[in-house]
Chain A
Amino acid sequence: MNISYIILVPLIPLALFVLLGLFSKKIPPSIAGWIGSLGLGTAFVLSLYTAYHYFLGAKLDGVYQTFTYKSTWIIFSDKLHMDMGMLIDPISVMMLVVVTTISFMVHVYSRGYMKGDDGYTRFFSYLALFSFSMLGLVLATNLFQMYIFWELVGASSFLLIGYYYTKPSAVAAAKKAFIVTRFADLGFLIGILVVSYYSGSFDFGELNSLDGNVITNWTATSFMGLSVFTWGLILIFMGGVGKSAMMPFHIWLPDAMEGPTPVSALIHAATMVVAGVYLVARLFPLFYFVEDGFVLSIVAYIGAISSLVAAVIAITQTDIKRVLAFSTMSQIGYMMLALGVSKYEGHEGLGYMASMFHLFTHAMFKALLFLGAGSVIHAIHSNELADMGGLRKYMPITHITFLIAALSIAGFPGFAGFFSKDEILAAAFENNRLIYVSSVIVAGLTAFYMFRLYFGIFWGKDKKYEHTPHESPLTMTIPLIFLAFMSVFGGYIPFSEFISADLKSFTSHLDLPLAVIASTVGIIGICLAYVFYKKENNLSEKATQLFGAFYQWTFHKFYFDEIYLFITKKIIFGILAAAIAWFDKYVVDAFMIGVGNVTMAFSNQIKGIQSGKVQDYAMAFVGGVVVLAMVVFYIWIN
């Protein structure tokens, strides 16, 4: 089966980027939007076609085949070399579909949303750059290639968050996102170096191979009580934590909402932020077998903690995009914990499948939520929940699609999120009850804050708007409708047929008791939100007062930002960098200048000898002669 034509999927956005980037002045905006959408549309169709072919035709003895196409990019040493190429296996094909779908939708949507903006063409070229990088990341055949595209998505995220570059807050957010993830990538890079040094390879195929030298021989070298591979994987996972905005590197994600809303939908909800999940899934055999899953349990706990913390914070936020950002973080925590509790073979590997399933459904409904939020923001020009209310009358399509997405994320029975979340909860229930309990709580919280948002925007009291809000244009509503469709029916795709840790199909059933518990909790959350926010009332203020300090605490996102700010501004900038600058100026440079000054001072001391008086010279001359004569005389008489 030859599917090397997949190379076109990343190459089309690359070509678009070059074209739109180089000729951004020449190409009129309307054409740029069309070119971008058409290009991504082609890529979207191609990936669907690939997925269709792959999932129906690439099985051999019940195992999905892996296809690799690669060529050497650089040779580091005799042992290590790096390839550029494409790795086609179930999860990469699934990711291709996710990325191109969302990217295509966002392209179409942006044609309406960004209309009239100065940098319209520039925006589309950035989007194309991002799509290219993300597709490259997805298709990477080895760790190093993944790192390359990992950095590229970071850079395109930087460019897109800072798209409104005249706005200081956007620039600051872009910088923050880049630097925080860069710090995490430092771990990733060192992890790659460790793993590749001890295994002699970057290649996923070799690393993941069950009889490869990593999995069979991970005990060989140890460092401080753990296998070196364990350390390597922890460091690699650090990269994933940064990119996926898990605790404690999550601080950049809320700020990243400064970017245009389509960007938030594409990068900070559906694709880039799940790269960390994808990374763990990609190296899953390694995570599972090395140190008997020690690192995997770290993954699980970090995922669980992040999802809980984010869900709590989301309740108190008032900026609708930030609520969604924390919701994203919480849902990615879900995916992480699902991977973390997963086992490898057959039905035991449910968590792995559930994670990928949730990644897929989440991409659809979260992109929908963001695009819906964007539609609202487009209409009323504000992000604040307080400025909204009663919009259902003005924006019917946005309202319905948003409701569908909210129901889906809340896990309402029958919607896509319900199925994927149920699989996650089932996997957690089987392997770790503590995480299961926290996940159920998160499910309730999710339903609550989502419907707080929904009621707050579309119901509640009617606001007096300066301009009567109106429904968004067709280019914006069509993607909404499409994604709403996916958010409902995406859950009926039999994922376990296609995706599993050991590449073999298995059948998963709906776990009825767990599903009932989860959906009950979800519905309770929805009802609570209904009571609090459907009509204008003072219940929420009362609740706020009830929680008092805890509310303040959550409202300030547990002061993570402040802690980081303190560390960076005060300690690193204020103490370390300032000390070094001081040291450089007053010690190192002063020493060098001091050498010069000492020379000068010495010369000042002795320059008096050169007095310019002939008589002084004559005196020295005569004195010299006399002394010499005496010496000669003394020698002579002896």
Chain B
Amino acid sequence: MDILSLFVIVPILTVLALIFAKNLKQARIVSLIGMAIQFAMAINLIFAYIKERAVNTDIMVFTKDVLWFGTFNIHYSIGVDAISVVMIALTAIVVLAGVFISWQIDDLPKEFFVSLITLSAGVFGFFISTDLFTMFVFYEIAVIPMYLLIGIWGSGPKENSAMKLTLMLMGASALLSVGIFGIYFNSNADGGPLTFNIFEIAQVHIPVAAQNIFFPLVFIGFAVIGALFPFHTWSPSGHASAPTAVSMLHAGVLMKLGGYGVFRIAMYLLPLGALSWTNFFLILSAIGVIYGAFGAIMQKDLKYVNAYASVSHLSLVLFALLMLNKTAWTGAIIQSLSHGLLTALFFALIGMVYGRTHTREIAKLGGIMKILPFIGAVYVITGLAYLGLPGFSGFVAEMNIFVGAFEHPDMFHRIITIVVISSIVVTSVYILRMVGKIMMGPLADETYKDLPKATWFEKVGLVLLMIPVLFIGTMPLGLSEMIKASIQPFLERLL
């Protein structure tokens, strides 16, 4: 069995094993073992990748190709470059942390973990595949369990939120599938056979007219899950209703599929379309950055604040991708990574606070730090990291994006960049407002005095997420160079 397919097989085996689990204890142990193996494999993959990269200069390494459905030339073809490797590592970390955070889920634990891990299998599959169709299949596998996870284990108006989320993502998938088939049926433009293989299509000169039609379809199809303005409204309500681990996984990983797909498919396969559409989408994503940040200021629910913050930060990823240069793209990838970790941390922390106080309303919380010092300290650190403090991953990402975006000599890009940079001030406003209100200040409610302290599994989950944040923030050189090397072939298509 090759090193990559295991990333899909291990979750599937875990799901199968989960079916025999009898209660919460068994379910979480099985999930923990499965996801710990996954995590270990991800760490191993990073080193294996570095070793392999030294001797292998292909775009993708560890490739494998199996014919899956001959009539339409669909293959199960897989391979990774640095970008997929870091995304896989991110997913492994977030899923493992998610298992820790859901340690005490009391309602239908087995089914919960089954859905959660199915979802992660889809995500892993998405990141390793290099075949459009396979990729799309994994994408759908990742999106569908979300409906169950929110609809069954959620809180508040969960059915409505779940439906809204699923329907909007399905709508996007419809556009996406049109785009993908558009690419497929143009993949014989130079006379070869029709193919779904990304790297074969990349050799083909798809006519400009077709690119201009299909680029926006693919872009929007992916960008909806990356919370592009004005298609972001599923995200606040979806996150607010989702259970903690699902919010973590969704904001932390699933929303990254959008940026990744844009980068891997839209930009790479339809470069001419990208060039003619960038300015339009740049404006949308810049609006998203500012708009999400201002939207977050006025929210009353902690999860809503975070959801809007995610809109802002992920629009920044799309913004950076649309800048079409190496520095900005590196920033986009690191931002995906950094946001994934930080937002997972935030949702985990919110979940912990909510689990204890049973409210997420900012006005009803206050002075939690005094009672829960560990959670409070991590909350403050996460907040500072989120607003782009140096020493944490967010800073490295944002600086790459800003420096890269500023490399465009024309006025339009400059002005829009400056507008986007100003979001860092707004970010600090809403983060500090939230931190200041709920963690600091006098205790809001006397009954909070006896809240239980953080348990060991919560601490493990948080520390697990915090370590890479600090690592990227303090020693970014290796990571950024690794990503940059992988970006090169993708960028060359656009120049």
Contacts and interface: CB of A to CB of B under 8 A. Distances in A.
A610 to B, nearest CB: 22
A75 interface: yes
Given A175-B436, A584-B233, A72 B298 contact: no
Contacts of B403: 76-77, 80, 193, 196
Contacts of A73: 476-477
Interface stretch (B90-98, B103-111, B193-201, B423-431): B423-431
A168 B294 CA distance: 24
Interface stretch (B19-27, B175-183, B390-398): B390-398
A178 B440 contact: no
A596 interface: yes
- Of listed A76, A155, A167, A171, residue having the most chain B CB within 10 A: A76
A379 interface: no
B202 interface: no
B433 A175 contact: yes
Interface string B389-433: 111000110011011101100000000001001101100110011
Given A577-B294, A581-B298, A197 B432 contact: no
B480 A75 contact: yes
B370 A148 contact: no
A74 B476 contact: yes
Nearest to A81: B477
Contacts of B421: 186, 189-190, 193
Given A151-B390, A190-B418, A190-B421, A581 B295 contact: yes
A146 to B, nearest CB: 11
Contacts of A69: none
A220 interface: no
Interface stretch (A308-316, A428-436, A547-555, A586-594): A586-594
A186 B424 contact: yes
A272 to B, nearest CB: 15
B367 A166 contact: yes
B390 A152 contact: yes
Contacts of B404: 76-77
Contacts of A36: none
B439 interface: yes
B422 to A, nearest CB: 6
A588 B233 contact: yes
Given A166-B370, A190-B421, A576 B406 contact: no
A606 B422 CA distance: 50
A588 B440 contact: no
Interface in A511-542: none
- Of listed B390, B402, B439, residue having the most chain A CB within 10 A: B390
A151 B394 CA distance: 13
Interface in A531-586: 573, 576-578, 580-581, 584
Interface in A154-192: 155, 158-159, 162, 165-168, 171-172, 174-175, 178-179, 182-183, 186, 189-190
A74 B396 contact: yes
Interface in B227-277: 229-234
Contacts of A144: 399
B167 A596 contact: yes
B166 to A, nearest CB: 12
A621 B167 CA distance: 34
Contacts of A190: 418, 421
Contact of B389 (A72, A152, A166, A167): A152
B291 interface: yes
Contact of A151 (B389, B425, B441): B389
Given A76-B403, A148-B390, A152-B391, A577 B432 contact: no
A124 interface: no
B407 A77 contact: yes
A178 B396 contact: no
B208 to A, nearest CB: 29
B390 A149 contact: yes
Contact of A165 (B233, B369, B391): B369
A503 B443 CA distance: 55
A72 B390 contact: no
The contact size tier of chain B is 35 or more
Q: Is the interface of A mostly helix, strand, loop or mixed?
A: helix
- Of listed A155, A178, A194, A584, residue having the most chain B CB within 10 A: A584
A166 B442 contact: yes
Contacts of A165: 369-370, 439-441
A177 to B, nearest CB: 10
A600 to B, nearest CB: 11
B290 to A, nearest CB: 9
A174 B233 CA distance: 33
B494 to A, nearest CB: 15
A387 to B, nearest CB: 24
Contacts of B402: 189, 193
A190 B421 CA distance: 8
Nearest to B439: A165
A179 B297 CA distance: 14
Contacts of A151: 389-390, 395
B37 interface: no
A172 B400 contact: no
A172 B384 contact: no
B212 interface: no
A74 B380 CA distance: 26
Interface string B356-393: 00000000000101100000000010001001011100
A577 B296 CA distance: 8
Nearest to A150: B390
B476 A589 contact: no
A167 B440 CA distance: 8
Contact of B428 (A74, A80, A179, A588): A179
B326 interface: yes
Given A174-B436, A175-B432, A197-B406, A168 B441 contact: yes
B428 A573 contact: no
B425 A580 contact: no
A206 to B, nearest CB: 17
Contacts of B432: 158, 174-175, 178-179
Nearest to B398: A189
A616 B48 CA distance: 68
B190 interface: no
Given A162-B440, A171-B440, A573 B297 contact: yes
A595 B378 CA distance: 41
B286 to A, nearest CB: 14
Contacts of B418: 190
A503 to B, nearest CB: 29
Nearest to A73: B477
B390 A589 contact: no
B164 interface: yes
A614 B230 CA distance: 46
Nearest to A588: B230
Contact of B298 (A179, A580, A592): A580
Contacts of A147: 390
Contacts of A576: 294
Contacts of A193: 402-403, 406, 421
A197 B291 CA distance: 28
A183 B439 contact: no
A72 B233 CA distance: 42
A182 B425 contact: yes
Interface string B99-139: 00000000000000000000000000000000000000000
B424 A573 contact: no
Contacts of A584: 233, 291, 295
B52 interface: no
A159 B62 CA distance: 47
A72 B299 CA distance: 41
Given A151-B389, A186-B421, A592-B164, 7 more contacts: A72-B477, A74-B400, A75-B484, A172-B436, A178-B428, A189-B402, A581-B297
The 3 closest A-B pairs by CB, nearest first: A148-B390, A581-B298, A165-B440
12 contacts: A73-B476, A75-B480, A77-B403, A158-B384, A165-B440, A168-B441, A172-B436, A175-B432, A175-B436, A179-B429, A193-B406, A589-B233
